[in-house]
């Protein structure tokens, strides 16, 4: 799992550096593009993903007390928080699409849609993984002495959160 996480983080690191390089090459264009984004949407998404990560940790802690049904409730909370992220991100795409911006508009939008779209795919995959482990968790499939699968799923989710923590300032905050 850690090798997989390292590989994922390396790919995102390259994308971040490429986005930064493109930004440094044409600062004016990126500032104009950034003005069409909604920083509050980025903030809401950050809160949603950090909260989802917190819920996942709580599920792990509760499961270690052999309360797997309660742990599932925390997992459902994480799914709910992640859903907020997905809805807000889709709304952002819809807003930009309605205004006529897409992948081909300019290098800012190419970078923006590629980076956030790639991250969104990871969030969706993470939600599927969390849903699958939640089913097994509900059935008592992760006893405290053997919950490596649950911990791996949690680590993947935290990786997705970690990537967003870097993505948020790069796209929404830094001018």
Partner 1 sequence: MNTLSRLFNHHSLWALLLLITLLSYMLAEDSVQSEVTGLILTLTAVKGALIIDGFMELHGVRHWVRYLMHLYCPLLALLIWAVLQI
Q: What is the DSSP letter of 107?
A: H
122 belongs to the binding site for partner 1 (CB under 8 A): no
Shortest CB 52 distance to partner 1, Å:
10
Other residues' Cβ atoms within 10 Å of the Cβ of residue 43: 14
* Contact set for partner 1, span 145-164 (CB under 8 A): 151, 154-155, 158, 161-162
87 belongs to the binding site for partner 1 (CB under 8 A): no
Can you tell me which of 54, 109, 118, 138 binds partner 1, judged by CB under 8 A?
54
- In our burial notation (b when 16+ CB lie closer than 10 A, e otherwise), range 90-129 reads eebbeebeeeebeeebbbbbebbbebbeebbebbeebbeb
Kindly give the residue spans of alpha helices, DSSP state H, lying in 36-67: 39-64
Tell me the C-alpha distance between 167 and 163, whole Å: 6
Q: Is residue 175 within 8 Å of residue 34, measured between CB atoms?
A: yes
Shortest CB 54 distance to partner 1, Å:
4
Q: What is the DSSP letter of 144?
A: T
Can you tell me which of 7, 11, 32, 47 binds partner 1, judged by CB under 8 A?
47
Q: Is residue 89 within 8 Å of residue 45, measured between CB atoms?
A: yes
Nearer to partner 1, 93 or 168 (CB): 168
Can you tell me which of 53, 63, 116, 134 binds partner 1, judged by CB under 8 A?
53
Q: Is residue 111 within 8 Å of residue 17, measured between CB atoms?
A: no
Can you tell me which of 24, 35, 145, 148 binds partner 1, judged by CB under 8 A?
24
Give contact residues for partner 1 (rule: CB under 8 A): 2, 6, 9, 13, 16-17, 20-21, 23-25, 39, 43, 46-47, 50-51, 53-54, 56-58, 60-61, 64-65, 151, 154-155, 158, 161-162, 165-166, 168-170, 172-175
């Amino acid at each position: 799992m850690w090798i997989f996480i390292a590989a994922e983080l390396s790919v995102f690191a390259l994308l971040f550096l490429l986005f930064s390089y493109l930004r440094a090459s044409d600062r004016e264009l990126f500032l104009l593009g950034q003005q069409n984004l909604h920083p509050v949407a980025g903030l809401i998404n950050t809160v949603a993903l950090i909260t989802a990560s917190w819920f996942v940790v709580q599920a792990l802690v509760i499961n270690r007390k052999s309360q797997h049904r309660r742990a599932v409730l925390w997992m459902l909370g994480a799914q709910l928080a992640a859903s907020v992220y997905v809805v807000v991100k889709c709304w952002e795409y819809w807003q930009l699409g309605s205004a006529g911006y897409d992948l081909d508009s300019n290098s800012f939008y190419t970078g923006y849609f590629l980076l956030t779209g790639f991250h969104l795919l990871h969030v969706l995959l993470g939600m599927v993984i969390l849903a699958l482990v939640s089913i097994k968790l509900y059935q008592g499939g992760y006893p405290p002495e053997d919950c490596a699968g649950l911990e791996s799923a949690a680590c993947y989710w935290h990786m997705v959160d970690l990537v967003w923590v870097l993505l948020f300032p790069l796209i929404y905050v830094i001018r």
